[in-house]
Amino acid sequence: MLDIKFLRENPDIVKQNIKNKFQDAKLPLVDEVIALDKQARETQQEADNLRSDRKKFSKEIGALMAQGKKEEAEEMKKKVNESAERLAELEALEPVLAEKIKKIMMTIPNIIDPSVPIGKDDSENVEVERFGEPVVPDFEIPYHTDIMEKLHGIDLDSARRVAGNGFYYLMGDIARLHSAVISYARDFMIGRGFTYCVPPFMIRSDVVTGVMSFAEMDAMMYKIEGEDLYLIGTSEHSMIGKFIDQVIPEDTLPQTLTSYSPCFRKEKGAHGIEERGVYRIHQFEKQEMIVVCKPEESPMWFNKLWQNTVDLFRSLDIPVRTLECCSGDLADLKVKSVDVEAWSPRQKKYFEVGSCSNLGDAQARRLRMRVVGEGGKYLPHTLNNTVVAPPRMLIAFLENNLNEDGSVNIPKVLQPYMGGMTKLVP
């Protein structure tokens, strides 16, 4: 969410940013919120004047009564009553205007970083760098669920009967591999100086609206019926929410946390053959990383975060690339984002396995987070990135470590988490 003062003073910049994100339907909102803001400030000023006059008139009435000037005092009382009625109208109007302004401001997108490429959608994202050599073996790579089924590692039919489409049972060595990857990712991030955390898996509505846009909320979140609680779509939500209404001492920054959680997503509009199996699902587990830092340090932390994911995947012998998200592919709160994509030998292309985002001070403003230091109070920047989400990681892992006989190599770094196993054998 933008600062209303910034929007008021820079409407053309805000409008151009909306155009850069190809959201022209939102352009009228800028003038609308400026008009509402003007009305709100005038309303507040008039109310403040009336409150000041009331105090002054009250003293004058007392003085007139003391002097025996009852008629004059009564006239003054009439003025006070009239102003009291007007003040009540204004005081009732103030929260209405504030709510209207807030609703619009939460819809206007954040100002993107100047380095972000301009493009309409993810088809115009820009490849930045490749890590590792993509390999296509001289034997056919089966679909990931076929690999898992040969290892007796997945049961989609039972999951369908129990919960419907978009769920799965992981079994045996595949289930163990899933847990091994999560445990390895946890220790990998602890080794990089992050504090491990297991957060709440449900959050209140004020946290939801503090960490994401309305469009994302509608597409992703499951609401708990009868309660002000939502299932998290990623632990970033509750991790950043941890700082709601907090004043953070500057000398405790940066806050660097890595968290484990299950994740729950509606996945509205999911379709296509590559979304079968465990690619796009309603429930999965993930290791996440978040940073709360000084504004001037957020570009440095942004680069560190995506590099962590690249390094983890490379340690598991999986080639990856980074992709700069274009303006039209950025969610409204994001300033800049880089996707990490893993190589799929079966598809002979890369696919997304993680996303690193710098949200500037947008989440901090929505959640009323502040930092206090020698120079006073200011808004911190927040960043997040996927360490690893095993369903998609499993696809990349199985395809890139598959042998022609159907066995799957286990990289050295993962073997201690698999009881010393070096291969999964059908």
CATH number for position 409: 3.30.930.10
Residues 282 and 176 in one domain: yes
Q: What distances in angstroms separate CA 194 from CA 187, 303, 414, one per listed residue?
A: 9, 15, 20
Residues 191 and 314 in one domain: yes
The CATH number that applies at residue 20 is: 1.10.287.40
Helix (H) or strand (E) holding 256: strand 255-264
Q: Can you give the pLDDT at residue 278? A: 86
Residues 99 and 193 in one domain: no
Residue 59 domain boundaries: 4-105
Q: Can you give the pLDDT at residue 176? A: 97
Residues 44 and 185 in one domain: no
Model confidence, pTM:
0.89
Residues 269 and 396 in one domain: yes
Residue 377 domain-assigned? yes
Residues 84 and 175 in one domain: no
Residues 85 and 188 in one domain: no
- Last residue of one domain, picked from the residues 71, 105, 139: 105
Distance CA 330, CA 328 (A): 6
Residue 116 domain-assigned? no
Distance CA 94, CA 96 (A): 5
Residues 143 and 100 in one domain: no
Total structural domains within the chain? 2
Q: What one-character DSSP code corresponds to residue 265? A: -
What is the greatest pairwise CA distance in the chain?
A: 108
Per-residue confidence of the chain (426 residues) as pLDDT tens digits?
A: 899 999 999 999 999 999 999 999 999 999 999 999 999 999 999 998 888 877 777 666 666 676 777 777 667 777 777 778 888 989 999 999 999 999 999 999 999 999 999 999 999 999 999 999 999 999 999 999 999 999 999 999 999 999 988 899 999 999 999 999 999 999 999 999 999 999 999 999 999 999 988 778 888 899 999 999 999 999 999 999 999 999 999 999 999 999 999 999 987 655 443 456 888 889 999 999 999 999 999 999 999 999 999 999 999 999 999 999 999 999 999 999 999 999 999 999 999 999 999 999 999 999 999 999 998 999 999 999 999 998 899 999 999 999 999 999 999 999 999 999 999 999
- Last residue of one domain, picked from the residues 53, 73, 105: 105
Residue 113 domain-assigned? no
Q: Can you give the pLDDT at residue 61? A: 67
Residue 110 domain-assigned? no
Residue 112 domain-assigned? no
Distance CA 113, CA 338 (A): 12
Q: Can you give the pLDDT at residue 272? A: 43
Q: Can you give the pLDDT at residue 350? A: 97
Residue 289 domain-assigned? yes
Distance CA 310, CA 361 (A): 26
Residues 208 and 328 in one domain: yes
Helix (H) or strand (E) holding 75: helix 70-105
